[in-house]
Chain A
Amino acid sequence: MTDRVQVVAFAGSALLLLLVLELVRRRRLSEEYSALWIVSASVLIGISLRRDLIDSSAQWMGVYYPPALLLLVLVGIVCVALLSISVILSRQRRQIDRLTEESAILAAELRELRWEVRERSDGEPGQRHTDESGP
């Protein structure tokens, strides 16, 4: 009951899973972002093995060519993946914004502290070196 499309689908999904695991192993993909891909690859492996599942649900949905359903699932996964990447991107954008603002504020506060110190030491000649040591 196996035909080529099933073999190719299984091989492709298994390859995807291996690739994801390898990327995690090399730390090119962090664990928290790999979950989506591992789940997706597992689902793909599952449905490429269970041919009957595809056939029956294709029949139920009125899809004439069952492997087209596999494609549909794939498109769905890609959509979810892209959306989640956009979410991650937005979060990182917010974090970068925050960091940029925070570092600008720190730089300004440091600059102003330096002014204050300089002003104080200019105002009281002879005490230039006692500023840090306190009274």
Chain B
Amino acid sequence: MTTRPRVLALIPAYNEAVNLPAVIGDLRRRRPDLEILVVDDGSTDGTVALLRRLQVRWLRWPERRGVGSAIRAGLRYADNLGFEAVVRLDADGQHDIQDIARLLLPLHMDAADVVLGSRFISMDAGDEGRPGPVQRTLGAVLSVLTQRVVTDPTSGFWAMSPRAVTLLAEHHPSGYPEPELHLFLSRNALRLVEVQVRSQARLSGRSSLTPVRLIAAGARVLLALLIVPLRAVVSQSHD
């Protein structure tokens, strides 16, 4: 049997058929060593047909269930197949493939269980400029609650070690998961390291966050801020 590729690129996607080919093309060209898994969260724009053509690994279900569920399923898949690390990136092309190496470095050095690509560590503005007031407030609150500096609370550019993958394959929060994920990681004593990444504008189309979704997400984050630090620590099997 051939040796399995070590790292899985996990791309949750909802109606990103326009951007996916470019993102996957870029990924294949610049990181041919990565396996690619797209999780199609019930897209209605012909993403399925596209996935069949692109010849990547993919998961899908018929109805939208939220990016958190998509990631959880992807992580369980990675856990089943024994990947050594998972890089999660967005399907809209806003993450620079070049930065994946920086994300993986702390994992390889065993300096972190989870690495977060932050757009805002160094404040000399990239394309996206500075964090907005909401992000800054959320970052400040999360920093206090988790007792480590969170500069980019809504970033979707992560790398995870096998330990984190196994744990999050069961417990990755649903819905709009990034802030809740910070709380979960802190609660369960997983080491988090932030690295600076370049931010790029999404290739085309708009983010799927509508005002109503944004309010619902905000309410959910508020609840998570109250509840998650009070939850029992998840039992982990140490080997």
CA distance A105 to B80 in the complex (A): 9
A residues within 8 A CB of B69?
97, 100-101
The answer to whether A108 touches B61 (Cβ under 8 A) is: no
Q: Knowing A97-B65, A97-B174, A100-B65 touch, does A105 contact B57 (C-beta < 8 A)?
A: no
Q: How large is the interface on B (under 10, 10 to 19, 20 to 34, 35 or more residues)?
A: 10 to 19
Q: Mark A71-86, 1 if CB is under 8 A from B, else 0.
A: 0000000000000000
- Whether the pair A104, B174 counts as a contact (CB closer than 8 A) is no
Interface residues of A in 97-125 (CB under 8 A from B): 97, 100-105, 107-109, 112
Tell me the number of A-to-B contacts counted with CB atoms below 8 Å. 32
Minimal beta-carbon separation of B211 from chain A (angstroms): 25
In the complex, the chain B residue whose C-beta lies closest to that of A100 is B61
Residue B77 lies at the interface, judged by CB distance under 8 Å to chain A: yes
Smallest CB–CB gap between B223 and chain A, Å? 13
Asked if B73 is at the interface of the complex by the 8 Å CB criterion, the answer is yes
Cα distance, A46 to B203, chains bound together (Å) = 68
CB-defined contacts of B80 to chain A, threshold 8 Å? 105, 109
Assess the A101–B57 pair: CB atoms within 8 A. Answer: no
For residue B60, which residues in chain A have a CB less than 8 angstroms away from its CB? 104
Alpha-carbon gap, A47 to B76, bound state (A): 52
Query: Which residues 25-72 in B have Cβ within 8 Å of A in the complex?
Result: 39, 57-61, 65, 69, 72
Distance A24 CA – B236 CA, assembled complex (angstroms):
41
Spell out B's residues near A (CB within 8 Å): 39, 57-61, 65, 69, 72-73, 76-77, 80, 174
A-B contact pairs, 12 of them (CB 8 A): A100-B65, A101-B69, A101-B72, A101-B76, A103-B61, A104-B39, A104-B59, A105-B59, A105-B73, A105-B77, A105-B80, A109-B80
